[in-house]
Amino acid sequence: MIQPDMPRTWYAPTKPHKFCPGCGHPLILKALGEAIDELGIQNRTVYGCDIGCSLLSWNFFALDSTQTHHGRTTPVMVGMKRARPELICVGYMGDGGGYSIGSQHLVNSAIRNEKITLILANNTNYAMTGGQLAPTTLPGQKTETTPFGRDPELTGHPTMGPEMISSITGEGAYVARGTVAKYRQLKGFIKKALQNQIEGNGFSFVEALSTCPTNWRTNAKQTWNWLEDKMGAFYPVGELKSPFRKEG
Amino acid sequence: MDKPVTGTKKVFMTGNETVAWAALAAGADIMFGYPITPQNEIMHYWTRLGTKYGRDFLQTEDEISAGFTVCGAIIAGKKAFTATAGPGNTLMQEPFSMAEAMRLPTVAIIQQRGGPSSGTVIYSQQEVTLTTYGGNGEGHRIVYSTATHQEIYDYTIKAFNNAWKYRFPTFVLGDGYQAKMREPLEIYDPEARNIEMVIPSPLVGLPGRIGIEREPQHLCNIYSLEDELYEVVLQLQAEYDRMAPELEEYQCRECDDAEILVVSHGVVSRSADDAVRFLRAQGIKAGAFRPITLRPFPGRALREILQTGVKKMLIVESAYGQLARLLQQEIYGENVPVETLLMPGVGIIDADIISKVKSLIH
Amino acid sequence: MRLVRVVLAGEGGQGVQSAAEIMAEAAYEEGKQTIYIPNFGLEQRGGVSIAFLQVGDRRIGAPKFNKADVVAALSQRAMARTRIYSGPDTIFMYDSSFEVTEEDLPTQYNMILDIPAVEKSKELNTRVFNVIIMGAVLELTAMIPVEATRNALEKKLGYKFEKNPELREMNYRAMEVGRALVRNRLKGGEMVCASTT
Cα nearest neighbour of B349 on chain C = C62
Q: Among B12, B274, B347, whose Cβ lies nearest the Cβ of C64?
A: B347
Residue numbers of the domain that contains B323: 251-361
Cβ-Cβ pairs closer than 8 A, A with B, add up to 134
Q: Which fold has domain C4-188?
A: Pyruvate-ferredoxin Oxidoreductase; domain 3 (3.40.920)
- At residue B144, the pLDDT reads 98
Q: Among B29, B61, B219, whose Cβ lies nearest the Cβ of A65?
A: B219
DSSP, collapsed to helix, strand or coil, labels residue A65 as strand
- pLDDT tens digit string along A97-133? 999 999 999 999 999 999 999 999 999 999 999 999 9
- At residue A1, the pLDDT reads 67
Share of chain A above pLDDT 70, in %: 98
Whole-number Å distance between alpha carbons of A163 and A178: 13
- Give the mutation candidate from A45, A84, A103, A104 for the B interface (greatest B CB count, under 10 A): A84
Q: Among A44, A69, A104, whose Cβ lies nearest the Cβ of B205?
A: A44
B180·C35 Cβ contact <8 A: no
- At residue A4, the pLDDT reads 73
Q: For residue A89, give the nearest of A97, A81, A100 by alpha carbon.
A: A81
Q: Do B157 and B286 lie in a common domain?
A: no
- Chain B residues in contact with A43 by the CB 8 A cut-off are 208-210
- At residue C189, the pLDDT reads 55
Shortest alpha-carbon distance between residue C100 and chain B (Å) = 30
C neighbour chains, 3+ CB pairs within 8 Å: B
The verdict on residue B231 lying in a domain is: no
Is the predicted pLDDT of residue A233 greater than 90, yes or no? yes
- At residue C160, the pLDDT reads 92
Q: For residue C135, give the nearest of C125, C127, C145, C123 by alpha carbon.
A: C145
The verdict on residue B230 lying in a domain is: no
DSSP, collapsed to helix, strand or coil, labels residue A128 as coil
ipTM for this prediction = 0.96
Of B193, B219, B239, which residue is a domain's last?
Answer: B193
Is the predicted pLDDT of residue A153 greater than 80, yes or no? yes
Chains C and B touching, counted as 3 or more CB pairs less than 8 Å apart: yes
- At residue C42, the pLDDT reads 72
Q: What are phi and psi of A174, to 5 degrees?
A: -120, 125
Q: Is B349 on the interface with C (CB under 8 A)?
A: yes
Q: Is A54 on the interface with B (CB under 8 A)?
A: no
pLDDT category of residue A246 using cuts at 50, 70 and 90: low
Helix H or strand E segment including C95: strand C86-95
- At residue C45, the pLDDT reads 66
Whole-number Å distance between alpha carbons of B160 and B169: 10
If one counts every other C-beta atom within 10 angstroms of the C-beta of residue B206, the result is 16
Domain residue spans of chain C: 4-188
Q: Picking from A2-6, A71-75, A120-124, B189-193, which range would have the lowest pLDDT averaged per residue?
A: A2-6
C37·B177 Cβ contact <8 A: yes
**CATH for B180:** 3.40.50.970
Scanning B89-148 for CB atoms below 8 A from C yields 120-122, 148
- Chain C residues in contact with B274 by the CB 8 A cut-off are 61-62
Q: Do B183 and B274 lie in a common domain?
A: no
Separation in Å, CA B209 to CA A12, A35, A77: 16, 18, 22
Cα nearest neighbour of B272 on chain C = C61
Pairing of strands B8-14, B182-188: antiparallel
**CATH for B330:** 3.40.50.920
Cα nearest neighbour of C58 on chain B = B274
pLDDT category of residue C195 using cuts at 50, 70 and 90: very low
As a whole number, mean pLDDT of residues B185-198 equals 96
- Chain B residues in contact with A104 by the CB 8 A cut-off are 61-62, 64-65
Is the predicted pLDDT of residue A13 greater than 90, yes or no? yes
The verdict on residue B229 lying in a domain is: no
Q: Do B188 and B261 lie in a common domain?
A: no
Q: Do B160 and B68 lie in a common domain?
A: yes
Share of chain B above pLDDT 90, in %: 98
Q: Roughly how many angstroms between the first and final C-alpha of chain C, as a whole number?
A: 28
Q: Do B347 and B262 lie in a common domain?
A: yes
Q: Do B143 and B285 lie in a common domain?
A: no
Whole-number Å distance between alpha carbons of C170 and C178: 12
B222·A82 Cβ contact <8 A: no
Chains A and B touching, counted as 3 or more CB pairs less than 8 Å apart: yes
Among the CATH numbers 1.10.150.120, 3.30.43.10, 3.40.50.970, 3.40.718.10, which is that of A23-241? 3.40.50.970
A80·B204 Cβ contact <8 A: yes
- pLDDT tens digit string along B104-115? 999 999 999 999
Q: Do B69 and B178 lie in a common domain?
A: yes
The mean pLDDT of chain A is 96
The verdict on residue B239 lying in a domain is: no
C62·B348 Cβ contact <8 A: yes
- Chain B residues in contact with C28 by the CB 8 A cut-off are 12, 184
As a whole number, mean pLDDT of residues C106-113 equals 96
As a whole number, mean pLDDT of residues B234-255 equals 97
- At residue B362, the pLDDT reads 73
Q: Is B267 on the interface with C (CB under 8 A)?
A: yes
B210·A64 Cβ contact <8 A: yes
DSSP, collapsed to helix, strand or coil, labels residue C31 as coil
B neighbour chains, 3+ CB pairs within 8 Å: A, C
Of B193, B212, B231, which residue is a domain's last?
Answer: B193
The verdict on residue B241 lying in a domain is: no
Q: Among B74, B94, B219, whose Cβ lies nearest the Cβ of A67?
A: B219
Number of domains in chain B: 2
Q: Do B131 and B256 lie in a common domain?
A: no
- pLDDT tens digit string along B122-164? 999 999 999 999 999 999 999 999 999 999 999 999 999 999 9
- At residue C194, the pLDDT reads 40
DSSP state for residue C118 in the 8-state scheme: H
Of B193, B215, B231, which residue is a domain's last?
Answer: B193
B181·C65 Cβ contact <8 A: no
- pLDDT tens digit string along B207-230? 999 999 999 999 999 999 999 999
Q: Is B177 on the interface with C (CB under 8 A)?
A: yes
- pLDDT tens digit string along A43-67? 999 999 999 999 999 999 999 999 9
Q: Do B188 and B255 lie in a common domain?
A: no
The verdict on residue B214 lying in a domain is: no
A63·B205 Cβ contact <8 A: no
Is the predicted pLDDT of residue B265 greater than 90, yes or no? yes
C61·B274 Cβ contact <8 A: yes
Shortest alpha-carbon distance between residue B326 and chain A (Å) = 29
The verdict on residue B224 lying in a domain is: no
